[in-house]
Copies of this chain bind each other. A is one copy, B any other.
């Protein structure tokens, strides 16, 4: 299979390099092709998502993505900013279902800001919609009748968009503990009201899944109070962005959490949920585990290699359990040393 490697900005190249080493060590029949994306691509070509990169992403069987975001690009027009590359890939490839699992690794109880007994109970999956919501609605700057600058962004979902992500949520819950919590803000937003109506309609096809609904403000609170109550959470693009970052911290470090972004057919883009962390880029301090675990998700969801995925996950768990830790977890391992520890455990 052909794997597109899009390292991107900041710590992206360092962490994807380790993930690639792990993939190569498995002895599978994989070919790799790299292309620039984000600020790196903008500086080389004037476009954060060059045609050639998008082409490669389309040709490939799966995409391993690093991260994008580069302070030197903050002042650019929106369509030239690094973030447009990941948003463009998600949209162009119709990667609408973002899976973000969060679970505490044994031995990391001390890394979480939560009490050990609270953190230990975490084993949840956030299913985030990725192609709609206020991310992709009409947006811009205009002048009000009173002559004031105004920024605006349209939030919306149609029933087709909600139905397909709801199905992804119910299906995930069936494969796990059978509980699905749909998060919205239906007491204020019409977009959320439609979301809730459609989720309830889809529920009829999944009588074996226990469905509940929660307002997003309450969900943010419950994720701190008692994250162990959740199995699968399904939510929109914006709320999913916020809640999944929050959940990541509950398990100790955002440097541990992978994600899969899938289309209807199972093709996917795999990326750590952390950002480009420009402050530590190029220093060998970044935690490569999220990227390595993203490679595992790729093997499971796009390459039909669940056993290899299990092997990688077990190797990361045992490297962590043996005390190998990067700085985000209070350790002294470099990015490469952490990669080595995972490779040794493989």
Interface residues of A (CB under 8 A from B): 69, 78, 81, 83, 87, 113-115, 118, 134-135, 137, 139-141, 144, 146, 148-160, 185, 187-195, 197-198, 216-218, 220-226, 238-239, 241-246, 248-250, 254, 275
Contact = CB atoms under 8 A, between A and B. Distances in A.
Given A113-B225, A115-B114, A217-B241, A152 B83 contact: no
Contacts of A140: 190
Contacts of A154: 152-155
Contact of A224 (B113, B155, B156): B113
B83 A188 contact: yes
Nearest to A273: B217
Given A83-B187, A134-B189, A216-B241, 17 more contacts: A78-B193, A113-B226, A137-B152, A141-B193, A144-B158, A146-B158, A148-B158, A149-B194, A150-B156, A151-B190, A152-B155, A152-B191, A217-B241, A217-B242, A221-B248, A222-B249, A225-B249
B155 A190 contact: no
Interface centre among A153, A191, A243 (most CB of B within 10 A): A153
Interface SS of chain A: helix
A150 B157 contact: yes
A151 B191 contact: yes
A220 B242 contact: yes
A260 to B, nearest CB: 18
Contacts of A221: 245-246, 248-249, 254
